[in-house]
Each structure stands twice: as C-alpha cells, then as structure tokens.
Amino acid sequence: MQDFHSALGLATRRKPVQPITLVRPHAARRAARFFVEKFPGKSLYAVKANPAPDLLEVLWDGGITHYDVASIGEVRVVSQTLPQATMCFMHPVKAEEVIEEAYFCHGVKTFSLDSLDELEKIRKATRGATDLNLLVRLKVSSEHSKLSLATKFGADSDELSQLLLETRQVADAMGICFHVGSQAMTPAAYTEAMERVRTAIIESSVTIDIIDVGGGFPSAYPGMEPPPLESFFEAIHEKFEDLPISYSAELWCEPGRALCAEYESVLVRVERRRGNDLYINDGAYGALFDAAHIGWRYPTELVRAEESDAPLAHFSFYGPTCDDMDHMKGPFVLPEDVKTGDYLEIGMLGAYGCAMRTGFNGFGVEDRITVSDEPMMSLYSFSAERPDESNVVRL
C-alpha cells in the first residue's frame, strides 16, 4: 500500500471510483498523547466510536492502555489486536453468557451496572468472583451535549443507595460512573454531574474507589468549536479533589470521539450536480450516518489540481443508494463551480463516521490509505508531533 501526503495526490493518481477512507495515524497519536499527559487520571478509549484495529494499535502506541468495550464483538477485537490491553465492560445491560466469556476467556474484571438485576447477573456469570471492579452508572443530564444519552441508562435515585450498598458487598474495587452525552460543549456538563455523584456518595455512605466521568469530550466541527480540552480537565480535577472519597481513589474517563474524530476523512466523487445538490458516492449508509440522521456538519474541501477561485456556496449531498433518506442537508461549504467528476474530501469522520458503514445497496469503500497532512480541523496543536514523511509521495 502506497502512502500519500494528501487527498490530492491520491485523487490525481488513482482516480478512485469508490470512496476511500484516509487515515491519519499522527492525529490519533497526538490525541492519545494529549489525554495520557494532561488528563489528571486514567483515560479509557471508548471502542464504539471507531473499532478499527489499525486505530487501536496507534492509540496503544500513544500510551492508551485501557479500553472501554460495550459488546462481546468489541471484547474480541481488542483482545485479538492488543492482547496486553486492559478492558472495561462499560455497557450496563449485558447477557450473562457475554459476561462469562469476557471474565473467563478474556480476563475482563471491570463491569458497569445500573440495576440490582445486572448485579445478580454479574455475580452468577463470574461464579461469585472476588476480584471485580464494579462501577454503578448514575443517571445524569445531557443538556450541555449535542447528543443525548440521558434516558437509556443510569440508576434512578430512589434505588441508588441500595444498589451502591449491595454492589459494595460484591466488588473488590467500587466505582461510580456516568455519561454526560456526546460532544459536551462546556465543562459544566461534568461539574454538574459530579455534584450528583457527591450527593449519591453522601446519601449512601459507601466507600468509593473509582470515579469515572465517562466520555463526551468534544471535537471540532463547523459551527461547533468547543473550549479547550484543558478547561474540561481542570474543572473535572477540581471537583474530583473535593469529593468525599479516599486519598487513593482513582479518576477515570472514557473518551471516544475526542481520541479518534481527527483520525479519518473520506475522499468522495461528485457523480451528478443538480442545483446545489451534489450526488456523491458515499452517504447515510456509509460514513455519513450522523450527517443524514442528526444533521451533523463536517468540513469539506474541493480536491482539484488547479485550485478554484470561485466564491464559496452552500451545498447538500445525496448519497449513492436509491433511498430518499440518503440525504445530508448540510450545509456543506464548497466553491461555487464544483461539478460532476470533482473529488471532495469530507473531514472529521474518524468518530461515529467510518465506523457506521453498512454495505446496503452494494455500495462500499474501496480502500484505506494513510496520509500525512493535517486533519481539516483539530482540538490539538499541530506543533506537538510531525509524522515521518520520508516514504511519502509528494505532489
């Protein structure tokens, strides 16, 4: 596989007919180093955001040793790709058979739960194991996040104290976790949730060994530029220091999006233009699920050897399938003269983008190609690390 510096070299030389996923290992590595060095605790990568084995390896090399998994499929992928990694099973509703396989075959000792039913399942499936880390998931608000995760999981306050007390009897190490929703736009999302944690600890008087603030750390997208990640880390650390927990208690987080959003982009081709609708060869059943279903906007660039000097205009996309729902409203910003046959790069698709692909209607991707230029947007400074470009084709 030949590496290219950027989308342009690839489009010019290969003229790909199907979309191509462009991967930027240096960007994911930079994100991993950032969390490892700056988050005041342990960072678990939430695998569901993007389970690509090549990404798992980059994050491992960047110092991420713990992985938040949510299904037996994710357990198997991580276990095969990174046999030394520590996995934490953070889905609060699991099949007993899955808990059993995770514990006995893959050495998973950390589980989350939000009900007495689940506690009983974990106890039975691990045959009364005494080396478990159990984290009780609290229900918290998603009001500061672009994507809500507030209704599905989390223990209700009326049974919380009992759940904490009974879990304490089973757990070796005992924690509290929550999830503020994805793409949290302010540190207040975490500090308000940690107030709930404080109340729960005081009301139940249980000893807590782990506080896990979950995922939700933002990335940069058009129209969504969050404050620096350091401000989130500082606010979390301050609240953590103030909780009624022991000196040796650990602080964890579970970033998905923030670690991988910059890792991938997609090179697509315009197959038809109708007004300001562009018919492209990737869409809602490919990497653009969130663009279609929740109106997420991604940065776009025209990939043409001779740069266009036309003014910028707003476009919508249609994907390649025959389904009306395969429509991405945008707006996506491109030069006004974009036309059939042009290539476009759509950026920031490393989280919940390429991971959502289906093969519906026979449309898929052609290839994954490593590029060394910078992602279109970033929450990390570009000076941190430069990739090795010695064997890269430059155009």
Ligand X SMILES: *Cc1c(COP(=O)(O)O)cnc(C)c1O
Question: Residues interacting with ligand X, by CB under 6 A?
Answer: 46, 48-49, 68, 90, 179, 182, 214-217, 254-258, 351
Q: What angle do CA 106, 111, 113 make, to 5 degrees?
A: 145
**From the CB of 186, what's the least distance to ligand X, in Å?**
14
Closer to ligand X by Cβ: residue 90 or 160: 90
Closer to ligand X by Cβ: residue 146 or 304: 146
User: Rounded CA gap, 16 and 246, in Å?
Assistant: 57
Contact 188, 231 (CB under 8 A): no
**From the CB of 232, what's the least distance to ligand X, in Å?**
11
Structure token digits, residue 245: 């927990």
Closer to ligand X by Cβ: residue 35 or 343: 35
Angle between helices 25-38 and 229-241 (to 10 degrees): 30
Closer to ligand X by Cβ: residue 217 or 263: 217
Contact 314, 278 (CB under 8 A): no
Closer to ligand X by Cβ: residue 137 or 269: 137
Nearest to 113 by CA among 130, 88, 147: 88
Closer to ligand X by Cβ: residue 255 or 319: 255
**From the CB of 214, what's the least distance to ligand X, in Å?**
5
**From the CB of 219, what's the least distance to ligand X, in Å?**
9
Closer to ligand X by Cβ: residue 149 or 270: 149
CA distances from 373 to 25, 39, 121, 124, 392 (A): 10, 26, 48, 51, 11
User: Rounded CA gap, 17 and 162, in Å?
Assistant: 58
Alpha helices in 245-351 (DSSP H): 257-260, 289-293
Residue 164, phi then psi, degrees to nearest 5: -65, -45
DSSP 42-103: EEEEEGGG---HHHHHHHHHTT--EEEE-SHHHHHHHHHH-TT-EEEE--SS--HHHHHHHH
**From the CB of 110, what's the least distance to ligand X, in Å?**
12
